[in-house]
Chains A and B, each alone.
Chain A
Amino acid sequence: MEMPQPNAEILSKKAKVAAALRAVLPYDAVIDDPSETRAYECDALTAYRCPPMIAVLPATTQEVSDVLKICHREGVPVVPRGSGTSLAGGALPTADCVILGVAKMNKVLETDYDNRLIRVQSGRTNLSVSGAVEEEDFFYAPDPSSQLACAIAGNIAMNSGGAHCLKYGVTTNNLMGVTLVMMDGEIIEVGGGYLDAPGLDILGVICGSEGQLGVVTEATLRILPKPEGARPVMIAFDSNEVAGACVADIIKAGVLPVAIEFMDRPIIEICENFAKAGYPDCEALLIVEVEGSEAEIQDQLDRISRIAKKHNPVELRQSQSAAESAAIWLGRKSAFGAVGQVADYMCLDGTIPVSALPEVLRRIKELSDQYGLRVGNVFHAGDGNMHPLIMFNANKEGDLELCESMGADVLRLCVEVGGCLTGEHGVGIEKRDLMETQYSAEDLEIQMAVKDVFDPGWLLNPSKVFPLSVSQSRRAS
């Protein structure tokens, strides 16, 4: 993965920039010692590392504005960072950048149960947003699997999803407003406690813009009353095709589960060895979770079971208790960790039309054979959001490149069948160079023109999302 050459002129004024930043921030909120900036050298895409020139940790919107004004004046690129859990390299620094971390900004500013919203500073972690409203039995719905650590700022930047978004939607569907600091330091309020105001949907384009349009410092989020309960059913099949057909039948029958998770044989085996969840020996496993009162849950699980039985499952296990639910989820929830125990892996998140599921799984298997790399599939089947885990050996010469090459082929396949490169992780640097497989030159140009409106100097997270060759003239200007 190529990154632009650091700008020598910017590097030469590091001391000046650090001094200017210290004039507006507390001393310890400016990190410029190379032994300390290393802490910010990567996010969760750990294959790529580069310490930033300086890292800053502002505590207020005003401080963010002051930092951006200085960087704007000095022409220094800024890479915003939430908790650094991006799988796509969204928070990967360049050597000449200032990392702007929002970790200190983690306060709850307002909870309003009558209007079902919460206003938080953007550094607050996803799970702690739910934690803040738990005592009134509310929750914040988007639940990326990194939710213990990931920040709302990053969720907004990447428009994060999660296992339960089949019912509740992703970040953009639960985001009501933001305080955004523009690259020139101007603070603007977009959206708020109301729904669907007329006027251009600027909030909609900010969400998912990967920190390239501005720095979100505060967010108004929709909160929901917690369901009375939830329980899964686990259904095992002897082929991926049949499991895929079962997913389509469940959806067509009008049952809308909160989650439909799909695991294929390699993942089932690895998870079973790791977590001893008691999964059956089968080709494909579905975990379907429904919510409601006890009676409602039972009714829905029975409907799903009736549909599944028409497809002759190898095994069907309805959870009858919290302990059984935990056992069913145990393997799935430890999937990434389990794969990490047996190999290094790359996790993709291309999304496909649900109808293309069997074909895509078959062709991923073919690619796996062709490249000689193992692949496991564990994904959100209800919405076609794949998560192929391509396993490789980071210590073996050329294996990472081989894995990346296969990953690119898998993503091209997703686009070919009518899907997209990324369903919830974002483009970052990881999928940047594949953007032209999904979008025409004109389609990319209009997106870059939108960035021009917010950040004409291309200083915010400039080397992400768009292929470097495509964004070159803008970044150089």
Chain B
Amino acid sequence: MSDMLYPADEAALSDMLREAAGPLRIMGGGTRPIGRIAPAQALSTRRMQGITLYEPGAMTLVAKTGTSIEEIEAVLAAEKQRLAFEPMDHRAILGTSGQPTLGGVIAANVSGPRRIQVGAARDFALGVTFVDGTGQVLSNGGRVMKNVTGYDLVKLMSGSWGTLGVLTEVALKVLPVSETQTTLKVHVTTWADAVASMSAALGTPFDVSGAATVQAKNGGFDSLIRIEGFETSVQYRASELTQCLAKFGAVDAVVDPWAEVKDLTAWADLDTVWRISVRPTDSLSVLELMQNLQQDRGFHCQLDWGGGLIWLGLEAAQMSDVQAGLALHQTLQRHVAQLRGHATLMTSGLLRDQDLCHFQPPERAIERVSQSLRKTFDPRGILNPERMS
């Protein structure tokens, strides 16, 4: 493969796409090599950089997609604002280096624990500019909070993994940083109690902004419930929630654990990681399946979004061989399909060279519509071909 292409602006990118003779691998900082990566000429948005507009009073920031998340978060922090959807940094579990970019976060619709309260990356994207597979520069949405003018292609572009176009600029809604946060830990002995405790917390009016469960070091599970806001309000809600959660187990306030929960930093050494999205209470059925399949070999698990987001991880020693690994992957996707959810293989050393569906195979009608949309935006099929299969 020849050297990476680095368009400096939309015009250069447009020329590159128009002249492309074969498939392109579209990337930002290259920190999220998730899905099928076919051999292709790499193209990075990294040189399209800079914040083009930031109005704290309007809670709006517009930036070029090659801008690093780190830079955006620093600029926001100076005005006591933030990306409220708290995008996950995948570098730990994927073993990548480089800088996560705005383009990558939107293209992969990357959110973190606060997603259950405030919405996903796609909910904060107000407008996009992108170049489609024919080299056309297109825009949709704008930079205002509410906009129903024409079709919402901003949503369609978010989470399209570069298969519909190369994002060049994104307008974001941003929110104030909370004055303070408190996290309550509820120690429980079963996954069922973990999910029930998170459901209970999320069913209160106390504005929970994070509900995750991690495996406790000395056995059992810790449900983590976060509340944020002004000091007096957080104190009040923490005390109400403590009472409400006491029936599940001992409740303590703990040091802010959310960076670790969000980025799965403790999972850096695992071989294989799946990300599964289901109805929160259906997570128990997935965990039961894993227990039956893995028996004594065990597995790693973290629940987020009140149980709706399941992270499953295996050490290399927890899988016997490639065939068993493939069978496990397929069994998981089949089971999750019955629950009408989705399982994605995020990374696997063992299964790296296998021909498999990283993303959940969609139902036939959805697949047909998706293929047809891809063909509309990228008739030659040059943008990240097969990435989402």
A420 touches B152 (CB 8 A): no
> Which residues of chain A have C-beta atoms less than 8 A from B177's C-beta?
254
A264 at the interface (CB under 8 A from B): no
Q: Which residues of chain A in 170-193 are interfacial with respect to chain B, using CB atoms and an 8 Å cutoff?
A: 170, 172-173, 186, 188-190, 192-193
> Which residues of chain B have C-beta atoms less than 8 A from A443's C-beta?
138-140, 150
A252 touches B146 (CB 8 A): no
A48 at the interface (CB under 8 A from B): no
B153-182: CB near A (< 8 Å → 1, else 0) gives 111101110011000000000011111000
Q: Which residues of chain A in 342-378 are interfacial with respect to chain B, using CB atoms and an 8 Å cutoff?
A: 351-355
Complex Cα distance, B152 from A207, in Å, reads 8
Nearest CB of B to A209, in Å = 5
* With known contacts A420-B147, A442-B136, A444-B150, A188–B365 Cβ distance under 8 A: yes
Candidates A159, A299, A435, A454; contact of B369 at CB < 8 Å: A454
A450 touches B144 (CB 8 A): no
B188-199: CB near A (< 8 Å → 1, else 0) gives 000000001001
Candidates B139, B150, B279, B360; contact of A115 at CB < 8 Å: B279
B101 at the interface (CB under 8 A from A): no
Nearest CB of B to A256, in Å = 6
A27 at the interface (CB under 8 A from B): no
B122 touches A194 (CB 8 A): no
Nearest CB of A to B266, in Å = 23
B132 at the interface (CB under 8 A from A): yes
Complex Cα distance, B308 from A170, in Å, reads 22
Nearest CB of B to A113, in Å = 6
A421 touches B57 (CB 8 A): no
A226's closest neighbor in chain B, by CB?
B205
* With known contacts A193-B279, A446-B138, A208–B148 Cβ distance under 8 A: yes
B340 at the interface (CB under 8 A from A): yes
Task: In the complex, identify which listed stretch (B70-78, B287-295, B322-330, B371-379) lies at the interface while the others stay far away.
Answer: B371-379
Candidates B55, B80, B149, B362; contact of A355 at CB < 8 Å: B55
A114 at the interface (CB under 8 A from B): yes
Nearest CB of B to A376, in Å = 20
> Which residues of chain A have C-beta atoms less than 8 A from B204's C-beta?
225
A-B contact count (CB 8 A): 270
A450 touches B153 (CB 8 A): yes
> Which residues of chain A have C-beta atoms less than 8 A from B381's C-beta?
none
Candidates A196, A200, A354, A380; contact of B370 at CB < 8 Å: A200
A157's closest neighbor in chain B, by CB?
B148
B278's closest neighbor in chain A, by CB?
A194
B163's closest neighbor in chain A, by CB?
A200
B7 at the interface (CB under 8 A from A): no
A446 touches B153 (CB 8 A): yes
B12 at the interface (CB under 8 A from A): no
> Which residues of chain A have C-beta atoms less than 8 A from B151's C-beta?
205, 208-209, 447, 450-451, 465
B111's closest neighbor in chain A, by CB?
A196
A351 touches B155 (CB 8 A): no
A398 at the interface (CB under 8 A from B): no
> Which residues of chain B have C-beta atoms less than 8 A from A452's C-beta?
376
B144 touches A202 (CB 8 A): no
Task: In the complex, identify which listed stretch (B17-25, B38-46, B216-224, B228-236) lies at the interface while the others stay far away.
Answer: B228-236
A454's closest neighbor in chain B, by CB?
B369
B63 at the interface (CB under 8 A from A): no
Candidates B140, B149, B233; contact of A422 at CB < 8 Å: B149
B202 at the interface (CB under 8 A from A): yes
A384 touches B388 (CB 8 A): no
Candidates A158, A197, A205, A353; contact of B60 at CB < 8 Å: A353
Candidates A172, A193, A295, A385; contact of B152 at CB < 8 Å: A172
A115 touches B146 (CB 8 A): no
Complex Cα distance, B159 from A123, in Å, reads 30
A248 touches B58 (CB 8 A): yes
Nearest CB of B to A140, in Å = 15
* With known contacts A205-B152, A299-B233, A170–B376 Cβ distance under 8 A: no
Complex Cα distance, B143 from A351, in Å, reads 10
B139's closest neighbor in chain A, by CB?
A443
B150 touches A201 (CB 8 A): no
A224-251: CB near B (< 8 Å → 1, else 0) gives 0111100000000000000000001101
B272 at the interface (CB under 8 A from A): no
B369 touches A170 (CB 8 A): no
B234's closest neighbor in chain A, by CB?
A296
Nearest CB of B to A294, in Å = 10
Counting chain A CB atoms within 10 Å of each CB, the highest count among B148, B149, B154, B341 belongs to B148
> Which residues of chain A have C-beta atoms less than 8 A from B58's C-beta?
248, 251, 353-355, 384
B280 touches A115 (CB 8 A): yes
B277 at the interface (CB under 8 A from A): yes
> Which residues of chain B have C-beta atoms less than 8 A from A173's C-beta?
119, 123
A299's closest neighbor in chain B, by CB?
B232
Complex Cα distance, B147 from A431, in Å, reads 13
B33 at the interface (CB under 8 A from A): no
B56 at the interface (CB under 8 A from A): yes
> Which residues of chain B have C-beta atoms less than 8 A from A383's C-beta?
144-146
A selection of 11 A-B contacts at a CB cut-off of 8 Å is A115-B199, A194-B278, A195-B120, A205-B155, A208-B152, A227-B205, A248-B57, A353-B60, A354-B55, A354-B57, A450-B153
The 8 closest A-B CB pairs, nearest first, are A204-B155, A248-B57, A254-B176, A383-B145, A423-B146, A193-B279, A197-B342, A354-B58
> Which of A's residues lie within 8 Å of B, judged by CB?
112-117, 137, 158-159, 161, 165-166, 169-170, 172-173, 186, 188-190, 192-205, 207-209, 225-228, 248-249, 251-256, 292-293, 295-296, 299-300, 303, 351-355, 380, 382-385, 418-427, 431, 435, 438-440, 442-444, 446-447, 449-454, 465
